[in-house]
Structure 1
């Protein structure tokens, strides 16, 4: 599906904001940070000079923006957008996905949001979007593993760009640290990304993990099957 509108869907704490930071560094895309969740949380989100107050309106505005420029949208999947007005999502633009080992995602999420419920981890919602995209397009969507960005960022990003049919810009693999206006609403969640200057391992450790907390353990085993479906897709050959 040819389109200037490129989506990246990731669970919270999946390094998706670092990926967005790389896309900002490119300078050739208009970049949107979590506009669907902004509608869920605050009832609105800005798209250019306009404001969207529901998911369908947001999609229409993004399509309009992408009519004459490349647009990149990063979104997290703690919410179920498909059944809350976003049923047209799989039909609009091109969809890619980023995954990270839930053993790392879950403790990080819990440290930021101790009141979370298990569904907030987001792998189930992420997989459902991916499955719907496959149904609509007939092609398994592209899935990138966050761990590959830490092993060899150049190779992982180059492969992503080749699939997305956008130029690979090696200069985008490093950047100046600092907060970005695009993520101001959720700034506290992005301190690692703000401190970073490239894709890098976090040195942070957590008091509660899937190994010492029963709630996190149960969340891990709930989401693990969804993660492994997407990981299998990430390791399969996806037609470009």
Structure 2
């Protein structure tokens, strides 16, 4: 008998450091990763016009209950002792039971909504607050914190990129696992673990060999983009209070 894997669910919105984080965990050597396992269900249910929508639906499992059963009780890919699951909180559609989340070790990745929206509209012109996941993150965070009796780990992208080593060391300590320098650098290029949507979204990550250096960004949003970011500001600031 082998011990069950440590199942780490990292909850993010789009255009964050979520894919680079997935690279970091996969490069440890003892960790399997899953790339947005609920995306096919999300697109099948909403029929939103995302890049590569039909390929995503065809390649994935559109039954969220079956996906969740595998994530929470199935073996980790490759029998690895760690299983890093990259999730988008907006994939948790209204009416979905989220009780299964409490069977995972949950981590929240946040980013200033203005920066998220500015990046998001480069790949998809239309955006509303629900598309970037922060409102859903705040609600899920509250539910997880209430169940735990304390705040789960929160990582803010801007703080993280200023000092990835310290941030990852702190996260690993909280998760009760060893940190390794392998989490800080990886070979460039695509991975078999990348979702089929990667050609539309992962160009920068495919070129990367580590976390990008932090740099100050100034963005100017207008219209729907500005309204989407503004609607998420309060949720972001509430979560930021718990960031390392």
TM-score range with shorter-chain normalisation?
0.7 to 0.9
The farther-off stretch of 218-227 and 133-142 is 133-142
- Matched ranges for 1:116-135 at <5 A: 116-135=127-146
Does residue 81 of structure 2 align to residue 74 of structure 1?
A: no
Give 5+ residue unaligned stretches, structure 2: 46-56
Task: Render the CA deviation track for 1:96-129: whole Å, top value 9, x for unaligned.
Answer: 0111112211110111111333310110011111
Q: What is the rounded CA distance, in whole Å, between the counterparts of 2:17 and 2:118 in structure 1?
A: 14
Match of 1:226 in 2: 235
Superposition CA RMSD, Å: 2.6
Matched pairs, number:
226
Matched, 1:11 2:13: yes
Match of 2:110 in 1: 99
TM-score, normalising length: structure 1: 0.84
**Preserved CA contact (<8 Å) 2:18 2:109:** yes
TM-superposed CA distance for 1:230, in Å, is: 0.6
SS of 1:98 mapped into structure 2: strand
> Secondary structure at 1:111's aligned position in 2?
coil
After superposing on structure 2, the runs of 4+ consecutive aligned residues of structure 1 that deviate more than 6 Å are: 43-46
Following the alignment from structure 2 to structure 1, what is the Cα–Cα distance between the partners of residues 161 and 80?
Answer: 33
Determine if contact 1:31/1:73 at 8 Å carries over to the other structure. yes
- Counterparts of 1:202 and 1:39 in 2: how far apart (Å)? 34
Kindly indicate whether residue 74 of structure 2 is the aligned counterpart of residue 64 of structure 1.
yes
Q: 1:143·1:233 contact (CA, 8 Å) conserved in 2? A: yes
Contact 2:31–2:80 (CA<8 Å) still a contact in 1?
A: no
Three-state SS of the structure 2 residue aligned to 1:181 is coil
Stretch deviating more after TM superposition (147-156 or 62-71):
62-71
Shift of 1:229: 0.8
What SS class does the counterpart of residue 75 from structure 1 fall into?
Answer: strand
Which residue in the other structure is 1:26 paired with? 28
- Tell me: CA distance 1:221–1:28, structure 2 relative to 1, closer, same or farther (3 Å): same
